[in-house]
Amino acid sequence: MTSVIETKDLNLWYGKHHALMDINIDIPEKQITALIGPSGCGKSTFLRTLNRMNDLIEDVKIDGKVLLKGEDINSMDVNVLRSRVGMVFQKANPFPMSVYDNIAYGPRILGIHKKKELDKIVETSLKQAAIWDECKGRLRTSALGMSGGQQQRLCIARTLAVKPEVLLLDESTSALDPVSTSKIEDLLLELKKKYTIIMVTHNMQQAARIADKTAFFLLGELIEYDDTEKIFSHPSDRRTEDYITGRFG
């Protein structure tokens, strides 16, 4: 299996706090990889290094390599990197503009301004995110009027509009009700046919339900990384077992 993202001895410090320690991981293409672990274990931090969102935080020092299809992400243009590695956040964050303008935001950055082309991108992105039927009649109204679950799927559509190779989800269903969550899970299973998906989740059932691979983080270390089935049935590390059986965390 080809790997899309590879990290080599990745270390990260927030000031003096050593938040990620020697992370070595190969993320396979067109699969869902779940990152689990207790709060503060570094899984979100790890996710945010993959599209260099940690660059925005002061006092962060990163050491080691992250390769996107063999290419060092630190030698890439950061804006290009982020259009190749898209991110959906914990809280849905549609811009206070119309549904259409939200989706067209990314393509416009890339210099696509023709109405016909944008119309097409908006439609396909919304369809891919399974939200076209719900908002085709209200493309010109504010995105802020939608429900939380719809907003989150809109944000997924917005990310898909720039055709990323990798989709990062940072606890993107944790603020949603079970129905909206299951809609997004179905959507992710559909999307993995085309995209590589890496998701941070606090919900272990969710990881077990949809992830192909699962990585368990603890105190900044990658403890175990394997097929989801293996992690949840025969974890090889005691700490993984303690965590997934709910003995701590």
Partner 1 sequence: MDAAGTADLIITAKEKISVKRRVKGAVLRGLMYFAAALTTVLLAAIIGYIFYRGVPYVTWNLLSTKPSLLDDNVGILPNILNTLYIIVIALVFALPIGIGTAVYLNEYATNKKLVRIIELATETLSGIPSIIYGLAGMLIFVQALNFGTSILAGALTLAVMTLPIIIRTTQEALKTVPDSYREGALALGSGRWHMVRTVVLPCAMDGIVTGIILSIGRIVGESAALLYTAGMANEILNPVKAVTPGNPGATLTVSLYMYAKERGQFNVAFAIAVILLLITFVINVSAKAAARKLRK
Chain residues that interact with partner 1, rule: CB under 8 A: 51, 53, 56, 58, 79-83, 86-87, 89, 91, 93-97, 105-106, 109-110, 155, 158-159, 162
Contact 225, 213 (CB under 8 A): yes
At its nearest, how many Å lie between partner 1 and the CB of residue 80? 7
CA distances from 139 to 26, 35, 97, 110 (A): 39, 34, 10, 21
Nearest distance from C-beta of residue 176 to partner 1, angstroms = 16
Q: What are phi and psi of 239, to 5 degrees?
A: -65, -35
CB closer to partner 1, 56 vs 179: 56
Give whichever of 84 and 239 is closer to partner 1, judged by the CB atom. 84
Tokens of 248: 């701590």
Tokens standing for 168? 């990062």
Paired tokens of 134: 């719900």
Shortest distance (Å) from residue 174 CB to partner 1: 14
Nearer to partner 1, 95 or 113 (CB): 95
Least separation in angstroms between residue 147's CB and partner 1 is 17
Closer to partner 1 by CB, 93 or 236: give it: 93
**Cβ-based nearer residue to partner 1, 91 or 247:** 91
The angle formed by the CA atoms of residues 37, 88 and 145, to the nearest 5 degrees, is: 125
Q: Are strands 213-218 and 32-36 parallel, antiparallel or unpaired?
A: parallel
Helix%, strand%, coil% for the chain, nearest 5: 40, 30, 30
Shortest CB 235 distance to partner 1, Å: 32
Identity of residue 144 = L
Q: 51 or 181, CB closer to partner 1?
A: 51
Min dist CB 48 to partner 1, Å, is 10
